[in-house]
Structure 1
Amino acid sequence: MEVVLEMTLPRNAESAPLVRHTLDASLRGLGVTPEIRADIALALGEACANVIQHAAAGMEYEVRARMDGLRCVVEVIDGGGGDSAQWGGGRAPLTAEHGRGLQLIRAFTEDVRIADRVTREGSVVHFEKSLAS
């Protein structure tokens, strides 16, 4: 079975919990363990928080997720106002209040990529997670 979610969300703080809960319910329905679901929720929350706080243009953002029983592939797409460089490549100090989102996404998921959108302004945050426990 394959489950595909595509959501267009307002760029506000209330949207992140909604998308996390929606994705978590789908993963739970597929029988994914709580530990793996928590890793995906954490990474998704960090990606959404970055878009909500830093995307200067656009009132909305998109989240696309595909689950096939083996992998969960997630993309968080912002509406622009910057580029993939806003994510930076450095490491924030462990005591830093901000700037650890990408580190957390990389620590809890696989195949993390940040890219500029091809046809419009904005960035795409892509990550994957194996659903096998």
Structure 2
Amino acid sequence: MSIWWSLHLRRDAASVPLARRLLLGTMETAGVDPDVSYDLSVALSEACANAVEHGGDTPDGPSEAYRVTAYLDGEKCRIEVTDSGPGFPATRDRPSIRPARTDAEHGRGLCLIQELADHVHIGNKPGRGGAVVSFDKILKWREDAPLMAV
């Protein structure tokens, strides 16, 4: 069983709960365990919030949108959030995920995603730039799951 969807969303705070609700509805309909669904929805909210806040100005002007794609394929869910902003700062290796100071008001999103998902990749889109945050998690299914992977 495979399900996938992709959203092209405005860089607006109101888009974050929309993406989260769509993911939760998809997972509930498919029969994914509610705890796994919740973890992935929180991680998605953090990735979307980062795209809204940081996916802004490009050399061509302000970026108005970002994209969310979710794949439920077999036993795994993969989510990817891409924006058209400046991307992560250039480093020799991939950008690091560092914990925020305990008194910081921001900076916990990527760490939270890393804690909630099984695998996380952060980087920049090739070419014109923009950030890419993708993460996946092994799915657990409810006993009565209508679309449980076989």
Q: Same fold (TM over 0.5)?
A: yes
Map residues 37-76 of structure 1 onto 2, 5 A cutoff.
Answer: 37-57=37-57, 58-76=63-81
* Matched residues, number: 132
Q: Which has the higher helix share?
A: 1
8 Å Cα contact 2:55/2:66 also seen in 1? no
Q: Per the alignment, do residues 31 and 91 of structure 1 end up closer, same or farther by CA in structure 2, a change over 3 Å counting?
A: same
Contact 1:116 1:124 in 2 (8 A): yes
- The counterpart of 1:78, out of the listed 77, 83, 105, is 83
Displacement after TM superposition at 1:90 (Å): 2.1
For residue 88 of structure 1, report the CA deviation from its aligned partner.
Answer: 5.2
Task: Output the amino acid matched with 1:53.
Answer: E
Q: TM-score, length-normalised on structure 2? A: 0.82
Amino acid at match of 2:87: D
Q: Give the fraction of aligned pairs with identical amino acids, expressed as a percent.
A: 38
Corresponding residue for 1:14? 14
Out of 97, 100, 105, the position equivalent to 2:105 is: 97
Partner residue, 1:130: 138
User: Any gaps of 5 or more consecutive residues in structure 2?
Assistant: 58-62, 142-150
Q: Distance in 1 between matches of 2:24 and 2:48?
A: 15
CA contact (8 A) 1:30 1:69 kept: no
Structure 1: stretches of 5+ with no match in the other structure: none
| Contact 1:77 1:122 (8 Å CA) reproduced | yes
Name the TM-score, length of structure 1 as normaliser. 0.92
Match of 1:30 in 2: 30
Q: Deviations over 1:13-62 (max 9, x none)?
A: 11011111111111111111111011001000000001111112310000
Within 1, Cα distance between the matches of 2:112 and 2:18? 20
- RMSD of Structure 2 on Structure 1 (CA): 1.6
Q: Residue type matched to 1:18 in 2? A: L
